[in-house]
Structure 1
Amino acid sequence: MRMKFGIDIDGTVTRPDAIVPFLNEDFGLSLTLDDIYDYDLSILVDIPKEQFSEWWLEKEPLVYERSPLAKDAKRVLKKWEKHHDLYYISARSIHLLEKTQEWFTKNDLPFHKIELVDTHDKVIFSKKYELDIFFEDKHDNAVRIHEQLSIPVILFNTPYNQDSVPKGVIRVNSWAEAEGWVDKWLEKQNA
């Protein structure tokens, strides 16, 4: 049975520390991923949110262009693409669609659809595409998608998403671990 996989991009397909070098360089810091305990990065750089937003708007295209792939993401996604539809749903701004597609091409990543929604609320788009499972790194997104759609959500474990999760949100530490869970889940779906 062909399934529809919803997949976040940043911090999920890309490494969750992709922004760290930019923060360190521009703000004179020496952060690692372990220092990022909150999704709101303005806390780390100790500047007003408005000023951080201006910095982010300037850096956003460069961060996305240089974001490294998460380990095993390409291998697993290429495997799944043969049997399932891959819908990437990201909070990135729509004006970055061309740059995002270029990044996918450069990294030889498969996709059926890339939807840049300019919001962290991905429930509407998950409903629109009738997704069967979702892959995410943002805690509240993962919980909301699971609770509103009753689908499993794979949550990639990071220091910034450590709040508790309901049973249908499954924490994994890697794409290899996600692959193992999904393989078992697919067996049950096809039984």
Structure 2
Amino acid sequence: MKSLNICIDIDGTITDPYFWLNSANKYFNKNITSDEITQYEVHKALKVSREEYTNFYNENKFDLHHRERINKDAVGTIQKLIKSSNIYFVTAREKSLEILTREYLNRNNVPYDGVYVLGTYHKVDTAKDLNCDLFIEDSFENAVELSENGFKVLLVDTNYNRFPLKENIKRVFNWTQIHNIITRILLQEKAV
């Protein structure tokens, strides 16, 4: 029997959080750097309207998500964790990206027990349904919503989520740190 139910967001956690930036710079004729992406709402960081960004995203989403760079340390860590924990990917990606998302994870040798493509940023109900013990996320707003509903969250550090942490949220800087934290949790459970 597996010990923990771990929910993991995809974009910005197992992938480069700025995967869309080069394409957006070309599309909008901008020269924004990742250091300037200090808010989660991309259109504001790019100084374009929400509608303009939505048009860009809709035109490019399949290509962007297909070629996103994956964090090899994340893959290695998840390959280790799945031996002792259930791994569920819970993403706000649009439902139209579900097949692509599964194909992407499989192509990159990322093991999982389930993939949930929600089409919404609200992940609390899915976390409850999955009996989530720990959620790995990059969105500060999502982390706060999850923590306010009693979930422990590891917030993967990015330029756009550096706000004071709330209860149940711990900032992490890499997948080695994530692995060490989860290993400690598993050891504590065995000791009980």
Equivalent positions of 1:105-116 (< 5 A) are 105-116=106-117
Q: Report the Cα distance in structure 2 between the residues aligned to 1:186 and 1:111, rounded to whole angstroms.
A: 18
Q: 1:20 matched to which residue of 2?
A: 21
After the TM superposition, which of the residue ranges 153-162 and 179-188 deviates more from structure 2? 179-188
Q: Report the Cα distance in structure 2 between the residues aligned to 1:45 and 1:85, rounded to whole angstroms.
A: 37
Q: Per-residue deviation at 1:101?
A: 1.0
Residue 103 of structure 1 aligns to a residue whose secondary structure is helix
Cα 1:183–1:139, aligned 2, differ >3 Å: closer, same or farther? Answer: same
Q: 1:171 matched to which residue of 2?
A: 171
Residue 166 of structure 1 aligns to a residue whose secondary structure is coil
Q: Report the Cα distance in structure 2 between the residues aligned to 1:171 and 1:189, rounded to whole angstroms.
A: 22
Opposite residue 52 of structure 1, the aligned amino acid is Y
Residue 109 of structure 1 aligns to a residue whose secondary structure is coil
Partners of 2:32 and 2:46 within 8 A in 1: no
**1:24-57 superposed Cα distances (whole Å, 9 cap, x missing partner):** 2212222332111011111133222112112111
| CA RMSD, 1 decimal | 1.2
Q: Report the Cα distance in structure 2 between the residues aligned to 1:99 and 1:59, rounded to whole angstroms.
A: 13
Partners of 1:38 and 1:160 within 8 A in 2: yes
Task: Give 4+ residue runs of structure 1 displaced > 4 Å after superposition.
Answer: none
Residue 158 of structure 1 aligns to a residue whose secondary structure is coil
Partners of 2:154 and 2:170 within 8 A in 1: yes
TM-score using structure 1 length: 0.95
Q: Per-residue deviation at 1:95?
A: 1.4
Unaligned 5+ segments in structure 2 are none
Opposite residue 10 of structure 2, the aligned amino acid is I
Q: Report the Cα distance in structure 1 between the residues aligned to 2:26 and 2:71, rounded to whole angstroms.
A: 22
Equivalent positions of 1:38-187 (< 5 A) are 38-148=39-149, 150-187=150-187
Partners of 1:94 and 1:118 within 8 A in 2: yes
Identity %: 27
TM-score using structure 2 length: 0.94
Cα 1:101–1:158, aligned 2, differ >3 Å: closer, same or farther? Answer: same
Q: How many residues align?
A: 190
**1:140-175 superposed Cα distances (whole Å, 9 cap, x missing partner):** 111211220x23210001110011112310101111
Q: Report the Cα distance in structure 2 between the residues aligned to 1:56 and 1:42, rounded to whole angstroms.
A: 10
Q: Per-residue deviation at 1:71?
A: 4.3
Opposite residue 171 of structure 2, the aligned amino acid is R
Opposite residue 154 of structure 1, the aligned amino acid is L
